[in-house]
Amino acid sequence: MATRARGVVDGMVSVAFLAVVLVGARGAETPQAAEIKAGDTVKVTTGPAPVKLGTETLITVGAGTELKVLKVQGDWLQVTVEKDGKPITGWIHKRNLAPAATGGPAADTPFTNSIGMQFVRIPAGEFLMGTTEADLRAILARFPEEKREAYSHEMPAHKVRITKAFLMGKHEVTVGQFRKFVEATGYKTDAETGGGPGLRVGAAVVEPTPPGEPRISLKSDASWRKPYFEQTDVHPVVCVTWNDAKKFADWLNASDKSRPAGWAYRLPTEAEWEYAARGPKSLVFPWGNEWDGKRCNFAGKGTGLPWDDKAVADGFPRTAPVGSFSPKGDSPFGVCDMAGNVGEWCEDWFVAHASGEQTDPMGPASGEQRSVRGASWNFSLLALRCACRAGLLPGSKANIVGFRVVLAPGPPAELTNSLGMQFVRVPAGEFQMGIEEASVQAAQKKKPNFNRESFASAMPGHKVRLTTAFLMGKHEVTVGQFRKFVEATGYKTNAETGGGGLIGALVIEPKISLKSDASWRKPYFEQTDAHPVVCVSWNDAKKFAEWLNASDKSKPAGWAYRLPTDAEWEYAARGPMGLFLPWGFESDGKCSNSAAKGTGLPNEDKAIADGFPRTAPVGSFSPKGDSPFGVCDMAGNVEEWCEDWYGAYTNGEQTDPTGPASGKDRVVRGGSWAHPWWHQDSFLRLFPHPADYRANDTGFRVVLAPGPQ
């Protein structure tokens, strides 16, 4: 009997290894809280808690305060409080309330969505993720032909804390469920279109040719419709890529009205997948710590594979109808087929495990391969350990790989709205906002063109805590997207109507002048629908967000479009490490669109040519110029409006800051094509503008976040 099984998928090698380890037993669930509705009275348990109107904090209320709920929007409650002896109405987040007042599915109630997909609840908890040194020694002792280095991607074992309950698909997505998606949308999979860089039409097909290695070949007519073995609507869909799986989740988010408010479909993170498979006791297999080939669909007797287990016949030479091994093969939480049947795509990029305890890990912000978990019908024996992991290119497709989805609080990891705008998830977290004195002194040595006053707007450096995840526009709003807004509403921009008393916009050519005919339609250089819209004011950007809120039905319930706060913008650009630039700590003129050679500007850097004398199509510098969260063009291209009034920073830690309550100018971030590279540090706030300002180097992006419209 062989101890490893190899399979080639679109040129990528996946290796699953066999192991035996002994760990504990299953744990128990904890109860889930009740739903809040209008008319309820709730009590603040975490205070002081802000009561907001938009991004403005009206008042803070202390722990123990009782509030009457007027309206519920996702995770936000409209309440009435007293301020200066008068009642005012604002919004408070559920996280500040008693646990009994938070919403979500009941612990003992399975959830079935509008297309018949069943979900089981996975409670918050902790577990040991990966393979320990003791586990590895046991593996090598029992299987001496195995190599230590083959297990490096499963190590080190580390404690993981999952802080929020979520719903895991009880089964892998079936052919029938995927068919409903295709019929509703007309979607063509990557196997059918050849989608993906360097990929071809078709899919990889595993065909046994005993007694030698199995033949794994690309079949140009292979797809989810024709996987080269018989499938019914209750079998798991295969020959689908990570990209296809994401599109399925996007469709569910847009079409399924049965999901809880404020929850979204997505692929599971690797940590969520392994926790759902192993439980809090970190079992070896979903059902326990001892191998049992009758509890899963693997390379048993009858598959015709060289390494099949002649002693065990599981009854299915290829895929099995989902749930065929339930309940005997279920995980501690009642999830089916988490060992074998088909490999399952996860959300994360595939890299080695990080060391140390982690909370709600989502993996790295970028990579080459996506994680695949659970092995499949063609893998042998202990390749089905819950700790085993593999990576494949996102465009890979094979008749051994499918997926399942989760339904969880908060935004999906990525989202494409009904306008085609792409968003990426920025998790809650902490970072150092602005810049400290020591860094200013070091920067001045590297950038002699800068004087100390240039850094004043970014000082003092201070810790900021963002308590709620949000979705940041992956790109700046494009000409094409803004055009759809104008065509739908008949809106005229400040440049076109004379906002601020002047018709037109500022034009840099390279002399700066007001052109009365300049607008987003005529910025005095060539633009296509894929370029960032310019010559738009803060007022114009706000109107665009209002239109999205009114017209986009794909957004999560209780969420709203708006401009990013100053703190959200900087965190999305710098990440938790507090990078100076989206890609790192050192300037690189090839990672952004700046005043480089060819712009004709007096301050151009003649040593660097970035290829774009004016704006660049959005995403032109991706992925090399992306932020830690995968957001594009946060340095250069166009300046970007933020929600906040501009004001000096205050000392001390801040939580979810929204800037001053009033002011003269609005914050603008990121620099532009007209700015030298030393103006593009992510902590700088050099050029605040009045709300009706517009120029051909100024645009915006939007966020999608929990809260009232």
Tokens of 79: 């309440």
Tokens of 243: 């990209």
Q: How many residues does the chain have?
A: 709
Distance, CA of 511 to CA of 216 (rounded, Å): 62
pLDDT band at 35 (very low <50, low <70, confident <90, very high): low
- The model carries a pTM of 0.60
Distance, CA of 55 to CA of 378 (rounded, Å): 53
CA separation, residue 9 to residues 71, 149, 241, 399, 432 (Å): 51, 22, 11, 10, 42
Distance, CA of 679 to CA of 687 (rounded, Å): 10
Distance, CA of 292 to CA of 288 (rounded, Å): 9
pLDDT digits (tens, 9 = 90+) for 311-345: 888 899 999 999 999 999 999 999 999 999 999 99
Mean pLDDT of 23-40: 43
Whether pLDDT at 634 is above 80: yes
Distance, CA of 226 to CA of 201 (rounded, Å): 13
**Beta bridge mates, 206:** 216
Helices of type H across 285-397 = none
Distance, CA of 225 to CA of 697 (rounded, Å): 49
Whether pLDDT at 73 is above 80: no
Q: Chain-wide mean pLDDT for the chain? A: 83
Determine the pLDDT at residue 7: 33
Tracing tokens 């019908």 back to the chain, one arrives at 377
Burial class (CB in 10 A: 0-12, 13-18, 19+), 84: exposed
pLDDT digits (tens, 9 = 90+) for 439-468: 777 766 665 565 666 677 788 888 898 888
Burial class (CB in 10 A: 0-12, 13-18, 19+), 28: exposed
Burial class (CB in 10 A: 0-12, 13-18, 19+), 395: buried
Tokens of 460: 């003092």
Distance, CA of 91 to CA of 72 (rounded, Å): 9
Whether pLDDT at 181 is above 70: yes
Distance, CA of 632 to CA of 699 (rounded, Å): 14
Determine the pLDDT at residue 198: 43
Tokens of 610: 């970035």
Burial class (CB in 10 A: 0-12, 13-18, 19+), 422: middle
Distance, CA of 585 to CA of 398 (rounded, Å): 40
CA separation, residue 10 to residues 51, 96, 153, 371, 669 (Å): 53, 49, 21, 15, 42
pLDDT digits (tens, 9 = 90+) for 390-404: 999 999 999 999 999
Structural domains of the chain sorted by starting position, each given as residue range(s) with its CATH number in brackets: 4-26+107-409 (3.90.1580.10), 41-101 (2.30.30), 416-475+536-706 (3.90.1580.10)
Stretch (H or E) spanning 126: strand 125-129
Percent of the chain with pLDDT over 90: 46
Distance, CA of 684 to CA of 656 (rounded, Å): 19
Determine the pLDDT at residue 118: 95
Distance, CA of 93 to CA of 703 (rounded, Å): 18
Burial class (CB in 10 A: 0-12, 13-18, 19+), 652: exposed
Determine the pLDDT at residue 444: 67
Distance, CA of 80 to CA of 613 (rounded, Å): 53
Tokens of 624: 């090399």
Distance, CA of 562 to CA of 703 (rounded, Å): 6
Stretch (H or E) spanning 441: helix 437-446
Determine the pLDDT at residue 230: 94
Distance, CA of 541 to CA of 698 (rounded, Å): 11
How far is residue 694 CA from its own chain's centroid? 32
Distance, CA of 178 to CA of 185 (rounded, Å): 11
Mean pLDDT of 406-432: 86
Mean pLDDT of 23-48: 50
Tell me if 524 sits within 8 A of 518, measured CB to CB.
Answer: yes
Beta strands in 527-571, from DSSP E residues, in sequence order = 559-562
Determine the pLDDT at residue 63: 61
* Nearest alpha-carbon partner for 19 in 159, 155, 126, 151: 151
Determine the pLDDT at residue 508: 83
Determine the pLDDT at residue 53: 64
Tell me if 520 sits within 8 A of 481, measured CB to CB.
Answer: no
Determine the pLDDT at residue 197: 45
How far is residue 90 CA from its own chain's centroid? 29
Distance, CA of 407 to CA of 540 (rounded, Å): 35
Determine the pLDDT at residue 635: 93
Burial class (CB in 10 A: 0-12, 13-18, 19+), 383: buried
Q: Which distant-in-sequence residues (6+ apart) come within 8 Å of 490 by Cβ? A: none
* Nearest alpha-carbon partner for 160 in 191, 187, 124, 188: 124
Determine the pLDDT at residue 213: 58
CA separation, residue 17 to residues 2, 86, 382, 665 (Å): 10, 68, 7, 60
DSSP designation for 351: -
* Nearest alpha-carbon partner for 424 in 413, 436, 434, 437: 413
* Nearest alpha-carbon partner for 17 in 139, 192, 176: 139
pLDDT digits (tens, 9 = 90+) for 191-246: 998 865 445 677 778 776 555 555 677 788 889 999 999 999 999 999 999 999 99
